[in-house]
Amino acid sequence: MDLQRLGVKLFCADGPVVALREFIPIFHRWIQTGALGELLIDVADYTHVPRGPGILLVAHEGIYGVDETGGRRGLVYYRRQPSDGDLATRLAGVARAVLTACQRLADEPELRGRLTFRGDEVLVFANDRLLAPNTDETLARMEPAVSALLGRLYPGVRCALHRETDVKERFAVTATAPAPAPIETLLARLSA
């Protein structure tokens, strides 16, 4: 499967206690300092859209965002540019990017102690309705890569999977582990 436009979202644990606009100066600082090791370009404010994309940090390779889609705040990353490797490798790269950004964001001085991310729930999605329509067939083709990612994040643990079934929505699978793991642990497992 040559799907390139993959995304992963990790949900916030504390709910929306941090105002969305507080992320804007942090993301601008990340652009100025090259905080994520990739070309960061711009910040976009979508706070006027209820339950929408929130605040976006546009990079050359993909887009990061403090996202409130579905009424659940989290940090999302999705690739815009092609990357090397098979589907499982590309998906692991997307997950590594979002975990790195989650860890860095939670460590920002302005947010420390006010922002944490759940380590037991991951949303994986395809941002390409042509190559990955929201069907059972796409789930069958994506399942090996999703299982490989979950096996690395939660070794020896069986995660519950729930697919978004509305065919008008993009393909998305939410994986829930029986117990949370710290973001640092998940990142270390993925980097090993």
Q: Domain limits at 118?
A: 6-191
Q: Count the helix, strand and coil residues of the chain and give each as a percent rounded to the nearest 5.
A: 35, 25, 40
pLDDT of 15 > 70? The answer is: no
171 in a structural domain:
yes
Cα–Cα distance measured from residue 138 to residue 22, given in angstroms and rounded to the nearest whole number: 37
Residue 84 neighbours by CB distance under 10 Å = 7
pLDDT 10s digits, 156-176: 999 999 998 999 999 999 999
DSSP 93-126: HHHHHHHHHHHHHHTSTTTTTT--EEEEEEEEEE
pLDDT of 139 > 90? The answer is: yes
pTM for the full predicted model: 0.95
1 in a structural domain:
no
Q: Please report, rounded to a whole number, the percentage of residues in the chain having pLDDT higher than 90.
A: 93
> Is 134 in contact with 167 (CB distance < 8 Å)?
yes
Q: What is the DSSP letter of 191?
A: H
Q: Give the chain's domain count.
A: 1
> Is 40 in contact with 30 (CB distance < 8 Å)?
yes
**Higher model confidence: residue 1 or residue 9?**
9
Identify the pLDDT of residue 16: 61
> Angle CA(4)–CA(8)–CA(10) in degrees, nearest 5?
170
Average pLDDT for 36-51: 96
Under the banding of pLDDT at 50, 70 and 90, the label for residue 2 is confident
Which one-letter amino acid corresponds to residue 100?
Answer: T
Cα–Cα distance measured from residue 62 to residue 5, given in angstroms and rounded to the nearest whole number: 9
58 in a structural domain:
yes
**Tokens 């640092």 label which residue?**
184
Which one-letter amino acid corresponds to residue 47?
Answer: T
